[in-house]
Amino acid sequence: MSHERHRHGGHGQPHGHGQPHGHQTHGDPLGNPDDLAAYLERLEGSTRAEWQQPDAIVAALGLRNGDRVCEIGPGPGYFTLRLARAVGPQGRVFAVEAEPRIADVLRTRLVEAQVANADVILAADDETLPPESVNLVLIVNTFHHFARGAAYLRALATRLAPNGAIVNIDFHAGDLPFGPPPEHRVSREEFIAAARTAGLAVVREEVFLPYQYYLVLAARNVAR
């Protein structure tokens, strides 16, 4: 597997949140659409919750009050607000987003929701890290945008607190009604290979999602 991928735009990518097949051919260099409002409306359509099961995903993360979480590619906050609630006011969420317009939308939503325990970090490059150690790194529908997948996973692992984990959720290979076109996906097996290259091991797998794999990774001999 080649780990050379698109620059990650987080869930701000047109297919990053699991839209029907078809890459955008217009918009900014990250592939985000010209009509941002229409895109966000599609991105958070009512049908997504049926297959994405966001509340079940967050519950399976097992977050505790006071935990620190880094979300890579948060988009407009589909998971961010849920994560902020899960870690409580003493916890912290660092949302790393590559697309400035999407980051602005997320900041506005956090203010409107009166969420004070989440910070939006505009990614300066393809391997932007949280500013401090975290208990969990969450990556949803985003790994295929990383320019250097294994290298970024390894860098993220250096920010994990003791017993911390990286959770990657992404679409299975094959023809599915949601997600990026098949040629742009990273299969479960390909992702596991990248994780091993990064010095990470799969310690748990959840199988309740209909179209996606859900892998929990722990660091193995990652220099800190």
Q: What is the pLDDT of residue 34?
A: 65
Average pLDDT over the chain, rounded to an integer: 84
Q: Is the pTM of this model over 0.75?
A: yes
Q: Regarding predicted confidence, which is higher, 191 or 45?
A: 191
Q: What is the pLDDT of residue 55?
A: 97
For the segment 57-63, the average pLDDT, to the nearest whole number, is: 98
- C-beta atoms surrounding 47 within 10 Å: 9
Q: Which residue has the tokens 């979300």?
A: 71
Residue ranges per structural domain of the chain: 10-219
Q: Regarding predicted confidence, which is higher, 6 or 123?
A: 123
Q: What is the pLDDT of residue 87?
A: 98
For the segment 79-89, the average pLDDT, to the nearest whole number, is: 97
Q: Tell me the per-residue pLDDT of 19-54, one tens digit each, with 9 for 90 and over.
A: 322 333 334 444 455 677 776 776 666 688 889 999
Asked if residue 1 has pLDDT above 80, the reply is no
Residue type at position 217: L
Q: Topology of domain 10-219, per CATH?
A: Rossmann fold (3.40.50)
What is the band of 121 on the pLDDT scale with cuts at 50, 70, 90? very high
Write the DSSP string, 106-130. Answer: HHHHHHHTT--SEEEEE-SSTT---
Is the Cα dihedral 31, 171, 218, 164 positive or negative?
positive
Poorest-confidence range of 19-33, 105-119, 179-193?
19-33
